[in-house]
A and B are shown apart, each in its own frame.
Chain A
């Protein structure tokens, strides 16, 4: 090769083709997919919880994208129907995830509607899921002698309660739980992708 111009021009052309396919076409076709009927926008507490979810990197172990029945048994694990673009209309950025070190969470709000379960599980996952390798998040809680009025006390199985102390959820934990409980894509969706 003798010409740097042809080299760079050629290189940028190949990248342009790739960008057209993977970025520009999706930009034109699916970026502004309207929300599916039944999907509600997040409340401010849920949005703060979503920030916590990102901050603590939950998406590195939990996906949010159940796959179609024909492809994988995600639905039979009660993870929910296959999601469609419109399910992510309020998700900025979407948290599809690439790992299932832990289960898919797209419908965790349906499977686990209990605040106390979520709080206790965040404080010590092994209190509710023996054998779990999820990290404990003690820094989202405070262990004190007694709770103040209006604070949320976490009730834990006896073996996991610190002796003579109470575990109080910090606002971050409450926000995170309200986000987790909002994860519910159980409403029906009629869409070519999900039928296939």
Chain B
């Protein structure tokens, strides 16, 4: 088969398949209006952003909001409080560990003789500790914690078997401690994203299964007819990740360049089919909640979801452009990378139309600021990623810091920002205490946003110059190194701001926990707009 026919058939097959899926999921809805998007609101609640004190509001607006539904929501929150709290505490720890390791690695790239006496502090290891602490610590702990909070609310039922999730979370974290320990000691499976020894992966599998089980049991006991968009993303992510993780880590199964294609099938799908859906689900839930208005278009959500499910899984081969792997595979991945523009545009338009006319809410809600910035960065990083896959761009950016900048735009600018917002929303609801210093939330936001902006701009420019220098064989290789130095230093400055923002965030969380009784402050996680319940 020649490349063109593979290209065309992949294209046609994808479109036909996507159309079929959307049709099959859509068919029963034809007779209904778009009320699928209203399922997250209690009757009469539309038009009112969610606040912390529903009971008081009930007195104020007697009869307008279905009080039973609000009580059900409170019961759902109560059933998840302990386990969500545990996941979030772990997320905070891994966030700090990961950012300290990341900043150390960043500084080492422009100060190569700093901290060289210990093997575990050398760049190759501390960088790997950073990646794994984010990939298996911060991101899944924050994401799963948020999923555990949202899913019972969406299904209007209590979490079933929360103690299994607690045990699973504990096992998962024990595995991560063991995994990071072995990486620091120098035991590694040797593939990016899959470094943790497979013996320890068994613990992750057991822990992950115990976390997933209650969510599936809860799904089966749902009290709503309609599954909201966030449930699609979170539900599928919880099935996708175990398949990815298991297939990728079976010892002895993968060899030679097949191991390399599998490596990037896994590496990219952890991002695309695990963190991304968890974060998108959070946006689909919190954004309408915080402005009190349902998602604009239910059909666009369907396109966004099935488009992601269809195309994202096949894009991993673009990490191997020019490599010793079958050419058809790389071409397929490039095609599907471009196809990803479709679901990304669907999501972007949908969010934009939903927010339209409600931008003023951004002033009052820090949660919304994080979520909106995250949503924008999803669009930015996805579109950037699609074009980065093209051979003409990839030949410059591949093997350079440009890719690192792109990865951080996605995993920090998008995923992490959304999880920050989610945590600000959820923590008061599971602890019964409000954030004591709302100004620290703004400080956190601006430090993190400025930090990632400096980080991204520096490394993007530096990476592009590096790639251009490497492509010009008349310039010595050392020139491609020297040219990046100021940008690597710039990255460390951005990174330091990000770390500082995390310290502020964590200190605020600790203050919330050890502070006095919950103080209700109108301006922190809720909207203070007049008339808001």
Contact = CB atoms under 8 A, between A and B. Distances in A.
Interface of A: 1-4, 6-8, 10-12, 14-15, 17-19, 21-23, 25-27, 29-33, 54-61, 63, 65, 67-68, 71-73, 76-77, 82-85, 87-89, 91-103, 125-126, 129, 131-139, 193, 196
Contacts of B329: 21-22, 25-26
A29, A88, A103, A133, most chain B CB atoms within 10 A: A133
13 contacts: A1-B227, A2-B226, A7-B236, A11-B240, A14-B310, A15-B243, A22-B262, A85-B257, A96-B260, A96-B324, A100-B480, A126-B112, A134-B112
Nearest to B398: A98
A56 B400 contact: no
Contact of A7 (B113, B117, B220, B227): B227
Contacts of B192: 59-60, 98
A17, A85, A89, A94, most chain B CB atoms within 10 A: A94
- Chain B contact patch, size range: 35 or more
Contacts of A136: 112-113, 116
A56 B256 contact: no
Interface stretch (B122-130, B419-427, B441-449, B501-509): B122-130
A141 to B, nearest CB: 11
Given A7-B227, A22-B262, A60-B127, A15 B324 contact: no
A139 B118 CA distance: 7
B473 A32 contact: no
Contacts of B260: 93-94, 96
Interface string B230-264: 01100110011001100100000011111111111
Contacts of B472: 73
B429 to A, nearest CB: 25
Contacts of B116: 135-139
B232 A7 contact: yes
Given A85-B325, A91-B256, A98-B192, A132 B481 contact: yes
B533 to A, nearest CB: 29
B313 A73 contact: no
Contacts of B112: 125-126, 132-136
Interface of B: 17, 21, 24-25, 28-29, 36, 108-110, 112-113, 116-119, 122-125, 127-128, 186-192, 219-220, 225-227, 231-232, 235-236, 239-240, 243-244, 247, 254-265, 269, 273, 302, 306, 309-310, 312-314, 316-317, 319-320, 322-327, 329, 332-333, 391, 395, 398-401, 403-404, 470-473, 477-478, 480-482, 485, 488
Contacts of A22: 261-262, 264-265, 313-314, 316-317, 329, 333
Contacts of A129: 478
Nearest to A191: B324
Given A27-B258, A95-B190, A100-B480, 18 more contacts: A3-B227, A6-B24, A14-B306, A14-B309, A15-B244, A17-B313, A19-B247, A22-B316, A22-B329, A29-B326, A55-B188, A56-B186, A57-B127, A73-B471, A98-B192, A126-B112, A136-B113, A139-B116
Given A22-B314, A92-B255, A193-B324, A11 B478 contact: no
Nearest to B322: A67
B117 to A, nearest CB: 6
B261 A26 contact: yes
Given A10-B25, A14-B310, A98-B319, A135 B257 contact: no
B233 to A, nearest CB: 10
A54 B191 CA distance: 9
Contacts of B401: 101
Nearest to A27: B258
Nearest to B115: A135
Contacts of A134: 112
Contacts of A29: 326
